[in-house]
Structure 1
């Protein structure tokens, strides 16, 4: 029996997965670097270049950073402390439940892993009622 190849994640998948979650809106005016929200709370967004995320060799600011909310500090640390993980953080995000990922490294994770990250981000920001409804619908499948 042949094993199915793992599909690597792509940037387009972030958009598709985020918009596929219920009650999602894109913050107005962010169409080129979307900020995906649920109930007015951001859960995934494409960040403008900032001084805290840069190439240590050239000093050039990263222009392809995607921010994902993490469910809790333990999950965040597990994602950013694993040396094989493309997820990272910066001192700017100390104490903030989010992780960063460069779009140029998104192919280092699978589509399924990305889907889980987006779903967890949405779940961490959605209202209790919306979260319970989504979990009920998806845990019984």
Structure 2
């Protein structure tokens, strides 16, 4: 089980992350591009669940590299990672924080950061040429 506080701590370990607000909810960005944000369900989202209960607790959206990676993430851990019709065709997954392990959350946040970070910053995280290696974040 993870919390929004855990998210804030984990993203603080990534290079050049800024925390802000988007639509009244916490958002984490790198180089002006959001890679993770608190994403409560809208009224329209809730209507689409119909008689099915929506996932409870805090929900986080995290960017992924592309739609192929999205499908892989969803298949790997379907108890914690999911999507909704609003995210169809968009390279991001939703995470039920109450069901995700901190390890899986750390990996997803790092991958989300890598999906939107400029190449020079990605090199700092992955140990690219001439950049400080901080891999293992």
Instruction: Quickly name the TM-score band, shorter chain normalised.
Output: 0.7 to 0.9
User: Hey, what's the Cα distance between the residues in 2 that align with 1:38 and 1:50?
Assistant: 26
Give the CA RMSD over aligned residues.
3.0
Is 1:70 aligned to 2:64, yes or no?
yes
**Gapped runs of 5+ residues in structure 2?**
128-132
Q: Summarize the Cα distance change of 1:64–1:73 in structure 2 as closer, same or farther, 3 Å threshold.
A: same
Q: Summarize the Cα distance change of 1:108–1:49 in structure 2 as closer, same or farther, 3 Å threshold.
A: closer
Is 1:111 aligned to 2:102, yes or no?
yes
Q: Name which of 82, 86, 91 aligns with 2:80.
A: 86
Q: Summarize the Cα distance change of 1:76–1:86 in structure 2 as closer, same or farther, 3 Å threshold.
A: same
Q: Summarize the Cα distance change of 1:75–1:139 in structure 2 as closer, same or farther, 3 Å threshold.
A: same
User: Hey, what's the Cα distance between the residues in 1 that align with 2:136 and 2:95?
Assistant: 31
Offset of residue 138 of structure 1: 3.7
TM-score (norm 2): 0.77
User: Counterpart in 2 of 1:14?
Assistant: 7
- Figure out how many residues of one structure are paired with residues of the other and give that number: 130
Q: Name which of 92, 98, 105 aligns with 1:98.
A: 92
User: Counterpart in 2 of 1:42?
Assistant: 34
Q: Summarize the Cα distance change of 1:140–1:108 in structure 2 as closer, same or farther, 3 Å threshold.
A: closer
TM-score (norm 1): 0.75
**Gapped runs of 5+ residues in structure 1?**
1-7
